[in-house]
């Protein structure tokens, strides 16, 4: 049965909390009942009540999100074809904002990929070519961003005791993660909303990781659907899934079973983001745009932030429905009960919880403070790793330990491996790389890290990752000059 065809005039009458329709591409949806469930709040939807919401919708939602959100979202019909063409033209001819123009110009001026020599180089390009909104969301950390910068600075306190006169000619940097092979001891850590930076979104990371032989962890909050992402993977390429557990167990279970069915190979249960961190740069972003560009309504505006309501920018929208009452005692057995995949806890921030995780029998822990985006003054992962190595070296025999947050260089990766980490995750770096150069950018940073890791391994006297030992690093008691950041 052909769907009903609707005229703009009719649609425009459904413009209130009582009856709210929105146009996404050529389709019309009734979202009245969904208003209260929208993670980002109802205000942002009501701005488009009775209107075309396509441009606001596309950059941050998977294409199949509307299907998944049913039943509360109801498909009403299609825009009549003449109107559809008008809307299409209007979208095309939408007056570019100053920020749009700045981004276009920056893309023209960016250096050729062959001139990118480091992750910092690519981050710099990303800072120039990303929209203000995307940069604010990707780069921001909690409060004063102390932990964000301390994550990186923590690596600087570790110096090498390099060993010489060892045969390292045929250095091999490969390793395994949960038994799956990785060409170098790094992985793409979960990070949301890749489409904000590039229309191909997370698929850029999938393709680049596949080409270079590393594993990608896909976020619950990916801007492509989990099926779309895994569909571009080339077997035997491995993908892991980063689970933000919904407060309703059944909803969470459905998601876990879905990704297992799709072929994801491990569950990284995220525990450090049960509420939104205070990312002021992200919250402030729409105001800055608004000030820059009077006349153009920003996606976020002041009215979204009524006094006293706890909404924290993009991050706030994403975690609204997540569980805030998990426990080692209940949540891990529940998860074991619904999946046979290996389970890793992502977001361990102290030695005590590393021990609890081992006692709970998980397969791995990812020492992480969410890239400094959640709790400011959370101990940097490299420091937690160091304490774990000194206080409880037995834990490394009971599960695999990974870290993410703050790493930029092959030296950082090798230092963490010396202390017992199995691999090091990179989050923002992949968002930046795909935003600046798409899939090729993703491959590039893996190549750069590989070259750096191999060089460092050879220079510290290690032929394989198993040759990297705690005595090869020393935590120094002085403060090195901080590496220059962007």
Q: Which of residues 9-48 bind a copy of itself (CB under 8 A)?
A: none
Stretch that binds a copy of itself, among 50-58, 78-86, 123-131, 445-453 (CB under 8 A): 445-453
Among 95, 109, 115, 340, binds a copy of itself (CB under 8 A): 115
Active site residue 370: yes
| Contact between 75 and a copy of itself per CB under 8 A | no
**What is the rounded distance in angstroms from the CA atom of residue 128 to the CA atom of residue 105?**
9
Catalytic residue among 244, 402, 432, 437: 244
Which residues in 359-378 contact a copy of itself (CB under 8 A)? 369, 374-378
**What is the rounded distance in angstroms from the CA atom of residue 425 to the CA atom of residue 216?**
9
- 390: tokens are 């000194």
Kindly give, in sequence order, each residue whose CB lies less than 8 Å from that of residue 233, ignoring residues fewer than 6 positions away. Answer: 206, 210, 239, 263
Whether the Cβ atoms of residue 371 and residue 151 lie closer than 8 Å to each other: yes
**What is the rounded distance in angstroms from the CA atom of residue 309 to the CA atom of residue 241?**
31
Whether the Cβ atoms of residue 345 and residue 269 lie closer than 8 Å to each other: yes
DSSP class of residue 85 equals H
**What is the rounded distance in angstroms from the CA atom of residue 428 to the CA atom of residue 10?**
44
**What is the rounded distance in angstroms from the CA atom of residue 184 to the CA atom of residue 69?**
38
| Contact between 251 and a copy of itself per CB under 8 A | no
Least Å distance between CB 450 and a copy of itself? 9
**What is the rounded distance in angstroms from the CA atom of residue 286 to the CA atom of residue 133?**
7
Longest CA–CA span in the chain (Å) reads 80
| Contact between 297 and a copy of itself per CB under 8 A | no
Stretch 180-209: interaction string toward a copy of itself, x if CB under 8 A: ------------------------------
Among 108, 109, 324, 340, binds a copy of itself (CB under 8 A): 324
- 121: tokens are 């180089």
The CB density around residue 482, as the number of other CB atoms within 10 Å, is 10
Stretch that binds a copy of itself, among 47-55, 69-77, 88-96, 473-481 (CB under 8 A): 473-481
Stretch 155-174: interaction string toward a copy of itself, x if CB under 8 A: -xxxxxxxxxxxxxx-----
| Contact between 124 and a copy of itself per CB under 8 A | no
| Contact between 349 and a copy of itself per CB under 8 A | yes
Catalytic residue among 52, 99, 272, 322: 272
- 10: tokens are 């009719």
Which residues in 403-442 contact a copy of itself (CB under 8 A)? 409, 411, 415
Active site residue 244: yes
Active site residue 272: yes
Catalytic residue among 370, 386, 408, 412: 370
| Contact between 280 and a copy of itself per CB under 8 A | yes
**What is the rounded distance in angstroms from the CA atom of residue 150 to the CA atom of residue 147?**
5
| Contact between 216 and a copy of itself per CB under 8 A | no
Among 45, 326, 399, 421, binds a copy of itself (CB under 8 A): 326
- The residues annotated with a catalytic role in the active site are 244, 272, 370
């Amino acid at each position: 049965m052909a769907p009903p065809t609707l005229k703009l005039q009719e649609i425009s009458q459904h413009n209130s909390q009582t009856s709210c329709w929105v146009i996404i591409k050529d389709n019309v949806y009734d979202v009245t009942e969904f208003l209260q469930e929208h993670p980002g709040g109802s205000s942002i939807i009501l701005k488009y009540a009775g209107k075309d919401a396509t441009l606001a919708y596309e950059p941050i939602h998977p294409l199949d999100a509307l299907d998944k959100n049913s039943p509360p979202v109801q498909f009403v019909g299609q825009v009549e074809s003449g109107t559809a063409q008008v809307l299409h033209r209007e979208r095309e001819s939408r007056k570019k904002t100053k920020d749009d123009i700045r981004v276009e110009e920056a893309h023209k001026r960016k250096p050729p990929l062959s001139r990118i020599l480091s992750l910092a180089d690519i981050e710099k390009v990303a800072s120039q070519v990303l929209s203000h909104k995307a940069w604010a969301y990707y780069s921001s950390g909690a409060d004063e961003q102390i932990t964000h910068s301390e994550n990186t600075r923590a690596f600087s306190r570790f110096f090498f005791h390099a060993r010489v006169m060892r045969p390292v000619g045929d250095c091999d940097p490969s390793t395994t993660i949960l038994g799956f092979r990785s060409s170098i001891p790094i992985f793409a850590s979960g990070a949301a909303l890749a489409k904000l930076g590039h229309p191909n979104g997370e698929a850029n990371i999938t393709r680049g990781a596949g080409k270079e032989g590393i594993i990608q962890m896909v976020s619950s909050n990916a801007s492509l659907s989990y099926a779309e992402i895994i569909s571009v993977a080339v077997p035997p390429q491995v993908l892991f899934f980063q689970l933000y557990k919904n407060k309703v167990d059944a909803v969470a279970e459905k998601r876990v079973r879905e990704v297992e069915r799709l072929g994801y190979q491990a569950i990284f249960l995220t525990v450090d983001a049960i509420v939104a961190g205070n990312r002021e740069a992200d919250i402030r972003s729409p105001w800055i745009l608004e000030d820059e560009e009077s006349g153009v309504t920003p996606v976020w505006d002041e009215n979204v932030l009524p006094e006293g309501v706890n909404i924290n920018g993009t991050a706030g929208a994403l975690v609204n429905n997540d569980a805030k009452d998990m426990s080692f005692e209940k949540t891990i057995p529940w998860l074991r009960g619904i999946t046979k995949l290996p389970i890793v806890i992502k977001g361990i921030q102290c030695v005590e919880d590393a021990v609890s995780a081992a006692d709970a029998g998980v397969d791995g822990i990812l020492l992480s403070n969410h890239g400094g985006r959640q709790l400011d003054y959370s101990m940097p992962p490299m420091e937690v790793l160091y304490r774990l190595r000194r206080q409880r070296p037995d834990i490394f025999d009971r599960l695999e330990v990974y870290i993410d947050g703050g790493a930029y260089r092959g030296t950082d990766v090798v230092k963490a491996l010396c202390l017992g980490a199995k691999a090091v995750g990179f989050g923002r770096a992949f968002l930046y790389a795909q935003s600046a150069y798409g899939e090729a950018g993703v491959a590039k940073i893996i190549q750069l890290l590989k070259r750096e890791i191999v060089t460092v391994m050879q220079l510290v006297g290690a032929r394989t990752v198993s040759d990297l030992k705690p005595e090869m690093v020393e935590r120094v008691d002085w403060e090195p000059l901080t590496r220059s950041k962007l």
